[in-house]
A and B are shown apart, each in its own frame.
Chain A
């Protein structure tokens, strides 16, 4: 019984850690993600559009399977978790071997290894020491640090470079897991929302994507916002002057623009949009009294201004785009196309009220009975600034993963673990030769070239060595 469960566990492990499983999982991920781009997705697409695009039955079916929100469906998340598990299992399965390779380099090549190595050569030498010294010098000039390996009965040389390259694949896979981890952290504890503020407004409640509200531990106030345009009228820049308010104090100030957010306590505030609220900010008026005296006033909706000791005027209503139907004034749109304002002039003494519209509207025209003549000088509409607010505690994992991945990929593709061994041996004729062999885990062409250079160098070194030895012998002879 126990044996069966062990073998099942073994089987699961083997399946999970095999490359085949990994590739099949990746193919499924690819197919499902592709499906997620072909079927319209909620909540990016609004409900109306979904209903327009699909018949009710199809939509119900798609919703039921989860194809309308593939990337957040439980099965997609499960799939990604399986991919992660597969990467982890494959790495654990192969890592010990690679680690052994990495931690305990193979320094002395034994006979079978020497016979099997594809890149090798023999160089005749006068004696062991001369040969080894020549090889060491040549390796030095190639930028290696040769190491003498002392065996029980013989000496040899080992030199290597970029051993880290053997670990590169694990670095890449670990970085991928780090990115996934960051993504999972953000999916569980991160949130995104939207706030729109008008000049002077302050809020600490964020409307989240899923329609919920979130209370922040601080408030954001907008001290100003605006848009700059190109000559052709298209927007060039949106900016908002934001202040973070905590415990009644202003703790941080920043003018944010698109691509340059404000960060406070792990919460990021982005400039997302800017536009008219359709509501009036201020209306500037000139009031001309019967005697020709002119007074300039500025009014918001429901604000009152005094014209003289007795009379004041109130802006009761503002309609940005009005239309008259059946003796009623209606609002057609929130664009400032055809604005109209409704004023009430009140006399305190008599309590008499005069209603009038600017511009005068037929049937409502009580303009001439007002003691003042009014003219609109300027119209300032209210603007809102749209702010995206997000909290992504996992993003550091993601960025660390990205950097690590780039480093790892650099190692994987461009850095080869190169090894050379030099052993003095007797060849089949019994002559003393230097056995030189080498290997690299990638980019064989460049390695072959380097091996050629090395053997040429060793031969050159040997020649000069022999020559200098000969000349010193000659010197000795001449001295004698």
Chain B
């Protein structure tokens, strides 16, 4: 009897979530519609993107709800919402393509547009074909971050400099997006494999904590004396970064933000420290404290994000290198922003695992299947990576007269290729299956992320356009 009651309650609770998300989506669409009526232009890119954002957010909420409660009807509605979001997203891509006259791969804004689109498609494919239903829990938040970032970046169609006017560029970038999306999928699958392979929840705790520590360590490279944090200055009129001279960006120092980031860094580091202490002392009670620390760290991360949003989006700040006050903008620091949001998502996903591990295990495919699908995904990603590098080399040869010049992006693409080649060799000739293979797949994706983001922002080179 009690059991029935519980089930009924969870059912009604389930319906409540659907109704709430539905109402939320409807409300936002209505507001957007009012706005459209005022401006009189229905199908422009920003409206379509806004619609996509609403649907993706709805899908994300439902996927999360599914992850937490395991109610099947959520995933049906989540799928529907993803389809709707994809439709709007496709509209935005087409609109952009039509307006710009070239496929949307020329700037980081356009690449994000294509990336989010690919991600949504792959989510639906994984869900339909491989029955990996909860994958949306991971990919939808990424899609949402992507769309939000797009709102911040400059959207005006930017003409292509002569070197970029080549069909080979489109081939190269399309392949890169497909390959990277496949790598992302293999990463998510490898993670799920580790869950199904009974990797201890504490290990995920340590990994999550290390990831967030990495994020905040990255942010703190901008730490200045007296607790400030330097951000790239932004010229609101030109919608562009401010340059002191060619290639040298102007930084402004936001006072006290550095201290906050340092504090959060210490808190997000505490779970991994507690975990290590617990392991050394072989005392499991430390893990319980560590889990509480994760909870606290999420609150603090949210605070850090909120303060960052407030301080970076308005106000005038002094610079160490130039006289006067300058403003900055969220658009000037897309990587800090996505790092902060990514840290929060990673911690939330850990909480999901901590609280709902049994449900997750019930809903995910078996470890063997996940292992096989991960391998299959890499079998798709690797040829795509090869073709991507080849197309890039061919394009470079037509443009600069040299197919390989060891610039950082090229070198890191080659490193990515080698890492996955290593994975394939170990798996095929040495029979590496299961956990070792999964760790290798995760390493591969970390290298991909560095190639995609790290190289662009940390290392110099001729891939300056992207």
Contact = CB atoms under 8 A, between A and B. Distances in A.
A237 B162 contact: yes
Given A389-B401, A409-B383, A19 B161 contact: no
Contacts of B400: 270, 272, 388
Contacts of A235: 161-162
A19 B425 contact: yes
A33 B159 contact: no
B162 A257 contact: yes
A182 to B, nearest CB: 9
Interface stretch (A22-30, A140-148, A333-341): A22-30
B390 A406 contact: yes
Interface stretch (B272-280, B295-303, B334-342, B402-410): B402-410
A413 interface: yes
B460 A413 contact: no
B227 to A, nearest CB: 27
A192 B168 CA distance: 22
A126 interface: no
A259 interface: yes
Given A37-B459, A237-B162, A258-B163, A23 B422 contact: yes
> Which of B400, B403, B460 gathers the greatest number of chain A CB atoms within 10 Å?
B403
Nearest to B387: A406
B399 A413 contact: no
Contacts of A270: 398-401
A230 interface: yes
A258 B418 contact: no
Given A23-B426, A183-B404, A234-B161, A33 B414 contact: yes
Contacts of A271: 162
Interface in A403-454: 405-406, 409-410, 413-414, 445
B421 to A, nearest CB: 7
Interface in B152-173: 159-163, 165-166, 168
B399 A258 contact: yes
Interface in B273-310: none
B411 A33 contact: yes
A388 B162 contact: no
A413 B166 contact: no
Contact of A390 (B160, B382, B390, B401): B401
Contacts of A29: 418
B401 A409 contact: no
Interface string B130-163: 0000000000000000000000000000011111
A40 interface: yes
A336 B363 CA distance: 70
A281 interface: no
A390 B402 contact: yes
A15 B13 CA distance: 64
Interface in A21-54: 22-23, 26-27, 29-30, 33-34, 36-38, 40-41, 44-45
A239 to B, nearest CB: 9
B28 interface: no
Contacts of A23: 422, 425-426
A398 interface: yes
Contacts of B414: 33
Interface string B420-432: 0110011001100
A316 B230 CA distance: 53
A413 B425 contact: no
Nearest to B399: A259
B93 to A, nearest CB: 22
A369 interface: no
Contacts of B411: 33-34, 36-37, 71
A27 B422 CA distance: 9
B187 to A, nearest CB: 19
A259 B398 contact: yes
Contact of B403 (A30, A33, A37, A395): A395
Contacts of B380: 413
A192 B402 contact: yes
B403 to A, nearest CB: 6
B68 interface: no
Contacts of B34: none
B126 interface: no
Contacts of A232: 159
A236 B398 CA distance: 17
Contacts of A406: 383, 386-387, 390
Contact of A234 (B159, B394, B399): B159
Contacts of B161: 234-235
B402 A236 contact: no
Interface in A248-291: 257-261, 268, 270-272
A402 interface: yes
A392 interface: yes
B419 interface: yes
A238 interface: yes
> Which of A38, A238, A406, A413 gathers the greatest number of chain B CB atoms within 10 Å?
A413
A409 B421 CA distance: 11
Contacts of B408: 37
A268 B383 contact: no
A26 B416 CA distance: 12
B402 A37 contact: no
B325 interface: no
Contact of B386 (A26, A30, A409): A409
Nearest to A409: B383
B379 interface: yes
A402 B396 CA distance: 15
B267 to A, nearest CB: 30
B397 interface: yes
A258 B407 CA distance: 20
A71 B383 CA distance: 25
A33 B403 CA distance: 17
B415 interface: yes
A258 B159 contact: no
B401 A30 contact: no
Contact of B412 (A37, A405, A445): A37
Contacts of A183: 404
A68 B188 CA distance: 38
Contacts of B460: 40, 45
A23 to B, nearest CB: 6
A70 B418 CA distance: 18
A268 B430 contact: no
A261 B418 contact: no
B406 to A, nearest CB: 4
A409 B398 contact: no
Contacts of B166: 259
B68 to A, nearest CB: 32
Contacts of B422: 23, 26-27
A204 to B, nearest CB: 18
B285 to A, nearest CB: 40
Contacts of A402: 390, 393-394
Contacts of A238: 162
Given A38-B459, A235-B161, A257-B162, A395 B397 contact: yes
A236 B401 contact: no
A26 B421 contact: yes
Given A237-B165, A390-B402, A413-B383, 9 more contacts: A71-B411, A192-B401, A234-B159, A234-B161, A235-B162, A237-B162, A257-B162, A270-B401, A402-B393
15 contacts: A23-B422, A23-B426, A34-B415, A37-B411, A70-B406, A71-B406, A71-B411, A183-B404, A234-B159, A258-B165, A271-B162, A388-B400, A390-B401, A406-B386, A406-B387
* Shortest beta-carbon contacts, A-B, top 3: A390-B401, A258-B162, A37-B408
Interface of B: 159-163, 165-166, 168, 372, 379-380, 382-383, 386-387, 390, 393-395, 397-404, 406-408, 411-412, 414-415, 418-419, 421-422, 425-426, 429-430, 455, 459-460
Interface of A: 19, 22-23, 26-27, 29-30, 33-34, 36-38, 40-41, 44-45, 70-71, 183, 192, 230, 232, 234-238, 257-261, 268, 270-272, 388-390, 392, 395, 398-399, 402, 405-406, 409-410, 413-414, 445
